[in-house]
Amino acid sequence: MATLSSAFLFIFSCFLACSISVWGRPATFLEDFRITWSDSHIKQIDEGRAIQLILDQNSGCGFASKRRYLFGRVSMKIKLIPGDSAGTVTAFYMNSDTDTVRDELDFEFLGNRTGQPYTVQTNIYAHGKGDKEQRVNLWFDPAADFHTYTIMWNHHHIVFYVDEVPIRVYKNNEAKNIPYPKFQPMGVYSTLWEADDWATRGGLEKIDWSKAPFLAYYKDFDIEGCPVPGPANCASNPRNWWEGTAYQALNAMEARRYRWVRMNHMIYDYCTDKSRYPVTPPECMAGI
């Protein structure tokens, strides 16, 4: 009996170790990131395991990863601006930092008037072509506590997650001549800034500066991917965990959650905007 118990404990500990190695270890801020804009408006807290971003009439702020990555998974826990945040945008995104043929994967959290739902806008740029906005009203108060926002990017698809719920899927359909970001490494960025010309109700709601400073909080910074520069064969290695069979398409539970979001919480989809796109864009026909 003791031998069986020991064996079970050994197997269980190995399982935990494997799970930890797969999902990685959230870093302190300065391990992976640098401040790019207005260092007086980013404060480290909890010994660098979390940060506070500040927006006031003097400045917003931003930070970026020290390295760029080609495929992988990026996640952060974010607590958004509470109360009246109309006109503000808190952004978390990946960007190739190239001008004419930019690749970019965007989370943009659009501030609201008190009592209205928070809207998250996602957008994708592939080979310099963007204008692929979708908007979802979050089904919880993202200013009341931290929630995890994740971008998964591999050779098969890009998935945006809120906690464990997929809210956006963009498939690799290069076989149908649809651009897909796979050649340019991307850095990880975040900004907090004023955008009251468009962010809330198309710019109708302006920032109330009497409510400033506006504060957002980040923690559990987790980047797993192929760093560039780095091993040349990393990005094409099928053994990378994010390229595994389990991550090549949504599983049944994820697919149900994805449909639930789209049916109950999506408020804008460029795919169905006939005023902008009289002919449905080809990537919109790809499904999940």
The pLDDT assigned to 219 comes to 95
What are all long-range contacts of 203-212, with beta carbons under 8 Å and residues at least 24 apart?
205/86, 205/87, 205/112, 205/113, 206/86, 206/87, 207/86, 207/87, 207/88, 208/84, 208/86, 208/87, 209/56, 209/57, 211/83, 211/84, 211/85, 212/55, 212/56, 212/57
Q: Which residues of 26-64 are buried (b: 16+ CB within 10 A; e: fewer)?
A: bebbeebbebebbeebbeeeeeeebbbbbbeeeebbbbb
List 31, 47, 104, 194, catalytic entry: 104
Structural domain boundaries in the chain: 29-286
Residue 26 confidence (pLDDT): 67
pLDDT attached to residue 25: 59
Q: Is 31 a catalytic residue?
A: no
What is the dihedral sign for C-alpha 72, 136, 212, 115? negative
Catalytic pick among 108, 174, 194, 205: 108
Give the CB-side neighbour count of residue 73, counting CA atoms within 13 A.
21
Q: What is the structure's pLDDT at 201?
A: 74
Spatial contact of 185 and 46, defined as CB atoms under 8 Å apart: no
User: What is the pTM (predicted TM-score) of this model?
Assistant: 0.89
Residue range 29-286 in CATH 3.40.50.10860? no
What is the separation, in whole angstroms, between the first and last Cα of the chain?
48
The tens place of each residue's pLDDT in the chain, 288 residues long, gives: 444 444 444 444 444 433 333 445 567 899 999 999 999 999 999 988 999 999 999 999 999 999 999 999 999 999 999 999 999 999 999 999 887 899 999 999 999 988 789 999 999 999 999 999 999 999 999 999 999 999 999 999 999 999 999 999 999 999 999 999 999 999 999 999 998 877 777 777 889 999 999 999 999 999 999 999 999 899 999 999 999 999 999 999 999 999 999 999 999 999 999 999 999 999 998 776
**What is the pLDDT at residue 23?**
43
DSSP H or E run through 73: strand 68-79
Rounded Cα–Cα distance for residues 128 and 125 (Å)? 6
Q: How far is CA 42 from CA 10, 38, 260, 285, in A?
A: 44, 7, 36, 42
Reading the block at residue 254, the tokens are 């994820």
224 is catalytic: no
pLDDT value at residue 45: 94
